[in-house]
Amino acid sequence: MTENHDGKQRGGVPGRQRKRFPGISSRAYEHPADRSALVALRKLTGFDTVFKALSGLLPERSLRLLYLSDSVRVSDAQFSHLNDMLRDACYILDLDRVPPMYVTQNPVPNAMCVGLDEPVIVLTTGLVELLDEEEMRAVIGHEVGHALSGHAVYRTVLLFLTNVALKVAWIPLGNVAVMAIVTALREWFRKSELSADRAGLLVGQDLRASMRGLMKLAGGNHLHEMNVDAFLAQADEYEKAGDLRDSVLKILNVLPRSHPFTTVRAAELKRWSESRDHQRLMDGHYPKRSEDKDASVSDSFRESAGHYAQTVRDSKDPLFKLVGDIAGGAGDLAGDLGGRLRTVFGGAPKEPGKDTGGSREGGSEKDAGGKPGEGPEA
């Protein structure tokens, strides 16, 4: 490719060299909880058919017409710098089709990826005005990551069900059933946001820019008044501060949200950027889309369970520490109970230097467990 006068290559590929990930599967960057849910859904027979049938009920066509009629479609002629970033993100993550992207008038900084048959990316003017080029590159990569993972489908369903919940709120128990599904989808979607943050880092390949973008979402366009390290320190303080009452309040605060808190997202992304998984990915070792059909559901669930267990063990949150202590205590109790049962049914354990059940008759030495020279298993 030849270069334009502004140092960018034609086709939207920037002059600064970034690594590309041909054929990359979304499993490469998905959060374990997000990945296990998606792998299971993709394995369900008829899953695609059911969601296509839902498309008649969902307001997707209405959304497309709304953005087409009342927003600005990004192209070479409109918001061309955003169009370059979008094409670049799709090039890096090897997305087959470049999804349409719109800028809509809204002072609240936000971005989303929705749609069943074809994902659509929407940026608000508040976000476009807030972020610099590298920060915006990470956000667009974040939304392209949603598209590659198929998150747009579930996000559309979540929006639809949230709407339904509002309409049936007056029906006794009707709202309870719908809100149970909405709450579960929100929990999944919060994890999917962590996945998309990772995709944004793969596209931008600038951790500080990703951190700055999250920091601006929390504190506005006042970078000279903010500090990334101090912002990350807030996440650490949030995790470990308070007592059990604060832990419960944290859960209640996050339940109605579709996104995790910004300090938590920043800390999660930094941890992943320093992980062996991220390093291997940057070195070119990652799962391919061609292998998705062979992905194991049980392996994904095991990885998800392992991640949550490790989170509980490592967490400084008072409630998580209590859960870990209880789990550890239950393990100790089970071990102690097992030892007592073995003592009852297999004989008392030997004390050091003493024979506890052996008979020396006939010149043989046996313990109560029946094996020569061995005491009961600990």
Residue with tokens 């998984």: 277
Report the helix count and the strand count for the chain, using DSSP H and E.
15, 4
143 is catalytic: yes
Q: Rounded to an integer, what distance in angstroms lies between the CA atom of residue 265 and that of residue 217?
A: 11
CA distance 1 to 76: 18
- Here the tokens at position 17 are 């060299």
Residue 48 parent element (H or E): helix 47-54
The answer to whether residues 7 and 15 touch, using CB atoms and an 8 Å cutoff, is: yes
Q: Looking at 60, 135, 143, 239, which residue is catalytic?
A: 143
State how far the Cα of 30 lies from the Cα of 34, in Å rounded to an integer.
6
Q: Which residues contact 306 (CB under 8 A, 6 or more apart)?
A: 32
Give all strands (DSSP E) within the chain, no chain letters. Answer: 72-73, 101-104, 111-114, 120-124
188, 34 in Cβ contact below 8 A? Answer: yes
* Cα–Cα distance measured from residue 233 to residue 114, given in angstroms and rounded to the nearest whole number: 33
Instruction: List strands edge to edge, sheet with 101-104.
Output: 72-73, 101-104, 120-124, 111-114
Q: Which value, in Å, is the radius of gyration of the alpha carbons in the chain?
A: 27
Cα separation of the two ends of the chain? 69
CA distance 351 to 334: 22
Cite the active site residues: 143
